Amino acid sequence: MKKLFIACLLLFSLARAGDSASLEVQGFSRDGRYLVFEQYGFQDGSGFPYSSVHVVDVKKNVLLWQTERVIEQDQGTLLQARSMVRGVAKSVLARYKLLSALPGSSIGIAANGYFISGKKLYQLQLKTNRRANTTCSDGMESLLELKLSVDNKTRVLQKDSQLPAARTCALGYKLHHVHVFGQQLAVFLTRETPGFEGSDLRWMVVTGTL
């Protein structure tokens, strides 16, 4: 009976297990206009290694370019996937002057959304709005609204009216940390999405100025 109980617990944990991507923020262009980051990991279900590179216009808070590579081989490695996607991205990173990106400062966010930069106290306010989408597995998806407050003033960094294809059927979001480069701000969040063996976690960024 004890062995059966342990086996059931293992099956339950496996059924809930998804794919959580790792993040590497490579940094900003020297003028702070562009940002590049990479996320990578192993796909749930297949276990194939993957990596994707994303280039963002910081001022406009717009994803300019992204690409992903998956090594669809049982003996494929994460190093292969990351090397492959970086090779593909090299010419694009050169165009946006991101081959020697500058990391800026990485700052943690407190549970209540506060962080300190340049001796000022900022607060991020994340709100998730659920709406119906019949194409999603649970019939719902989550839009986000992100605000930044400082010196008793609040402004909206991003408010979704609809979701881009890359975020269709998102289940939710969570603040993680910020990167600051001069007055440029990049807020990194995790995004939960339906996966093959459970919920998957991917990274996204909302950008703006302090």
pLDDT in tens, 79-94: 999 999 999 999 999 9
Q: pTM of whole model > 0.85?
A: yes
How many domains does the chain divide into?
1
- Note whether residue 67 is domain-resident: yes
- Note whether residue 31 is domain-resident: yes
- Note whether residue 5 is domain-resident: no
What pLDDT sits at residue 194?
85
The secondary structure element, H or E, covering residue 14 is helix 2-16
Looking at the DSSP bridge assignments, the partners of residue 174 are 190
- How far from the centroid of its chain's Cα atoms is residue 127's Cα? 17
What pLDDT sits at residue 198?
75
Domain coverage including residue 118: 17-209
Indicate the SS3 state at residue 33.
coil
- Note whether residue 134 is domain-resident: yes
Nearest CA-CA partner of 24 in 9, 34, 39 = 39
- Note whether residue 4 is domain-resident: no
* Contact status, residue 183 vs residue 120, Cβ threshold 8 Å: no
What pLDDT sits at residue 123?
98
* Contact status, residue 140 vs residue 133, Cβ threshold 8 Å: yes
Phi, psi of 188 (to 5 degrees): -95, 135
User: Strand pairing of 22-28 and 34-42?
Assistant: antiparallel
- Note whether residue 1 is domain-resident: no
Give tens-digit pLDDT for 6-45. Answer: 333 223 333 334 789 999 999 999 999 999 999 999 988 7
DSSP string covering 54-106, please? Answer: EEEETTTTEEEEEEEEE--STT--HHHHHHHHHHHHHHHHHHTT-TT-B--EE
**What residue has token string 């994303």?**
54
- Note whether residue 28 is domain-resident: yes
- Note whether residue 109 is domain-resident: yes
Give tens-digit pLDDT for 178-207. Answer: 999 999 999 999 999 887 777 899 999 999
Residue 2 pLDDT exceeds 70: no
Q: How far apart are CA 129 and CA 125, in angstroms?
A: 13
Torsion of CA 27, 47, 163, 171, to 10 degrees: -110
Burial label for 187, CB within 10 Å (0-12, 13-18, 19+), is buried
